[in-house]
Amino acid sequence: MGTELTTGVTRDTNSGELARELTGLGVRVLRTTSLPDDLDAVRTAFKAGMDAADMIVSTGGLGPTPDDLTRESIAAACGLEPRIDADILGWLEQLFGRRGVSMPEANSKQAWLIDGATALPNAHGTAPGWWVERPDGRLIIALPGPPREWWPMWREQAVARLRTRRVGVERATRTLRLTGVGESALVALIGEESLRAANPQVATYSRAEAVDVVVSAESDGLSSARDLVDFTVNQLLQRIGEFVFAEEDQTWAEALASRLADRTLAIVEIGTGGQLAALIGASDKVLHAELSRSHSDVEELAHSARQAHAADIGLAVRATERADHTQVAIAIATAAGVSAVSRAAFLAGDEGRRRAALIACAELWRALG
């Protein structure tokens, strides 16, 4: 939290990291929020969070300055007054003493605690975290803002405590990566009933390089979360399997390398700004051809690239910008001959070139199958 987030000066990456961590522990994350340095806004957010959820995890606002308002806000939301803890104050004074300076009075607020709170030691800064157990069983975990401070505190202290409380439920997730189909077209293929189901959940996400279908489930007491996910994925594959080129966080480079196996590939690209090479990645099995006959048709270019490098496969792509789209010509040469296709990529400019490279990857992936 902090005004630097709500004004866009600093990009919030903490909430995403924590959401992934909590999901991995089997905790369902209801909301992530960025807040300004405003006592009433932060207090209200903590109060609303305690009313809606079993646990709140925050980062930031634990520094010594007047605009660090997390402790004050939690105390106010709980209807409690903070007090100075002698042990934390002594630790802070020793910390500054080892540096040869006296502790500024402003840092004394970092020694505050409230009833039900214990400090989470900070081995990388002066801001202890808070672990607050409320009488109704709800939990508040307040962590520092800098990743070098909150990440070790979270992994080494908070997670261990959460596991002793057996927080969360058994949960499993599986991601399918698709090409050649848009997110809107997937609605009809998957079906609204599946997309609206609560458990397992099926969701689609449009990424820069693919459309992801994420299946997640919680154990229902009869079947494990993993069994529920795998059953749903197997059903989905019957409807969308032809578009699935990878799973989880596998990239185009990894998916193509898997299909290439021990074969070599020579590529030549024209008009894509090197986007194809960036997607396919660096490998001793991928050779980048530099041909002087750039005005030749793509069939000849693919054949020449294959011959020039004695490769098993030659791939040529030419992207030609039009007024509102990019025309893409692709050819793939093998020992059996040369095949060519023409496609239209939505939009022109950099986005059109990026999409042209993705179309080329998809055509190559299909040809390698």
**Domains of the chain with CATH codes:** 3-164 (3.40.980.10), 171-247 (3.30.70.2860), 252-368 (3.90.950.20)
Residue 331 is predicted with a pLDDT of: 97
Residue 131 is predicted with a pLDDT of: 98
Q: What is the DSSP string of 140-152?
A: EEEE-SSHHHHHH
Torsion of CA 290, 295, 299, 300, to 10 degrees: -70
Tell me the pLDDT tens digit for each residue of 81-138. 999 999 999 999 999 999 899 999 999 999 999 999 999 999 999 999 999 999 999 9
Report the C-alpha gap between 224 and 227 in whole angstroms: 5
**195 vs 16, 214, 245, CA distance in Å?**
23, 10, 21
Q: Where are the alpha helices (DSSP H) in the chain?
A: 3-6, 14-24, 39-52, 70-78, 86-97, 147-153, 159-164, 183-190, 192-196, 225-240, 252-260, 275-280, 298-308, 349-368
β-strand partners of 345:
326
Residue 319 has pLDDT above 70, yes or no: yes
Residue 293 is predicted with a pLDDT of: 64
Tell me the pLDDT tens digit for each residue of 115-128. 999 999 999 999 99
- One-letter amino acid at 42 equals V
Report the C-alpha gap between 302 and 317 in whole angstroms: 8
pLDDT, average across residues 4-26:
89
Report the C-alpha gap between 115 and 82 in whole angstroms: 8
Tell me the pLDDT tens digit for each residue of 233-290. 999 999 999 999 999 999 999 999 999 999 999 999 999 999 999 999 888 889 887 7
Residue 292 is predicted with a pLDDT of: 63
Residue 294 is predicted with a pLDDT of: 63
> What percent of the chain is modeled with pLDDT above 70?
99
Count CA atoms within 13 Å of residue 165 on its CB side.
18
- Nearest in space to 367 (alpha carbons), one of 267, 291, 283, 292: 267
> Chain-wide mean pLDDT for the chain?
93
Q: Which two tokens stand for residue 191?
A: 């079906």
Q: Which of the two residues, 220 and 328, has the higher pLDDT score? A: 328
Report the C-alpha gap between 253 and 277 in whole angstroms: 9
**319 vs 49, 301, 322, 341, CA distance in Å?**
51, 14, 10, 12
pLDDT, average across residues 307-318:
95
**176 vs 195, 217, 284, CA distance in Å?**
15, 15, 27
pLDDT, average across residues 41-52:
96
Kindly report the length of the chain.
369
| H or E element at residue 106 | none
Residue 10 is predicted with a pLDDT of: 87
Tell me the pLDDT tens digit for each residue of 190-238. 999 999 999 999 999 999 899 999 999 998 889 999 999 999 999 999 9
What is the DSSP code (8-state) at residue 206?
E
**169 vs 33, 60, 155, 214, 309, CA distance in Å?**
23, 27, 19, 18, 54
Residue 162 has pLDDT above 70, yes or no: yes
Q: Where are the alpha helices (DSSP H) in 156-224?
A: 159-164, 183-190, 192-196
Residue 167 is predicted with a pLDDT of: 81
